[in-house]
Amino acid sequence: MALSIEDTPEAALVMPRAGAVQLESVHTVWWRRPRAPDPSEELDPETREFVTSEWEHFLASLEAVIPARWVNPPAASRVAARKVEQAIAAREQGLSVPRTVVTNDPEAVRGLAAEGRRLIYKRLGTAPRPLTATKELRPSDLERLEVLPNCPAIFQDRVDARLDIRVTIIGTEVFGAEIDSQMGSSPLDWRFDHTVPFRPHQLDDSVATQLLALMKRLGLLYGAIDLRLTPEGEYVFLEVNPGGQYLFVELLGGVNLSERFAHFLAAG
């Protein structure tokens, strides 16, 4: 890759066999889970850290010099991936969001638990690995809170579900899939049991409108959104993943997403 900053910034992708591709001719960039090259193991730790940082800055510069439609814009994606940012934005759009506390303070968690409300806890970040489950906060968890100051977590009111809903948004198109998570072995986190039924789901128009407004507020063109549909019929927002997977929804739920996404990317 080579970037040139002259009167008009330019970028080229240089490939050993195909030569240089001028990225100004690119109409759409699908920016999904980019990862910088791993520095050589022969480098000392300080140099490896330096090289990694330089790659991160280099890749982050591409958005400024490639005049294309980004799916999603890298800067917007970085902000939108923050779960606190998502929750605040979702509330602004009128979506129902469970009471949420992000903390590394054991006493704050004990105070929540003392109110007698059922709570869950989950990780704050969005990296695909390691895969960690959403769990219910139990008395035994309160006994090991001494480790919490080392690493914050999210604590939320537990939302009882009739169904879990996965919403995939591609541009202005909204595709829903319902997951019978309560029938399986992982009712709090359907990601750990794909044996339950997946089906297409027709989202309420008002909720679909709110989700599109949320995507616009976050600056996203694509997103995988998790909702819970309560026994009373209320949709509750959990989170949005700007680089979330969609193929399993197509394979298990019969929702045609690959074709729609390909058309969207090609449209530029």
pLDDT score of 11 more than 90? no
> What are the backbone angles phi and psi of residue 227, rounded to the nearest 5°?
-125, 160
pLDDT band at residue 213 under the 50/70/90 scheme = very high
Q: Per residue in 241-254, pLDDT tens?
A: 999 999 999 999 99
Residue 128's pLDDT is what? 66
pLDDT above 70 covers a percentage of the chain that reads 98
User: Where on the phi/psi map is residue 249: left (φ > 0), alpha (ψ -120 to 50), or beta?
Assistant: alpha
- What's the mean pLDDT in 20-36? 83
Q: In angstroms, rounded to a whole number, what is the distance separating the alpha carbons of residues 111 and 119?
A: 12
User: Is pLDDT at 214 greater than 90 in this prediction?
Assistant: yes
The whole-number pLDDT of residue 139 equals 94
Whether 262 has a pLDDT exceeding 70, the answer reads yes
Interval 44-65: pLDDT, tens? 999 999 999 998 888 888 888 8
Query: Looking up tokens 């994606």, which residue turns up?
Result: 77
Determine which of 55-64, 69-78, 227-236 has the lowest per-residue pLDDT on average.
55-64
pLDDT in tens, 136-150: 999 999 999 999 999
Query: Which residues are registered as beta bridge partners of 167?
Result: 176, 225
Query: pLDDT at position 33, please?
Result: 83
Give me the pLDDT at residue 217, please: 98
Helix (H, G, I), strand (E, B) or coil at 227: strand
202: confidence class by pLDDT, cuts 50, 70, 90: very high
CATH topology (fold) of 78-95+160-267: D-amino Acid Aminotransferase; Chain A, domain 1 (3.30.470)
Instruction: Specify the pLDDT at position 6.
Output: 72
* Its pTM surpasses 0.95: no
Mean pLDDT rounded to a whole number for the chain: 92
Q: Give the pLDDT of residue 73.
A: 94
**pLDDT confidence band for 92 (50 / 70 / 90):** very high
Closest CA to 22 of 74, 65, 70: 65
CB contact at 8 A, 47 and 98: no
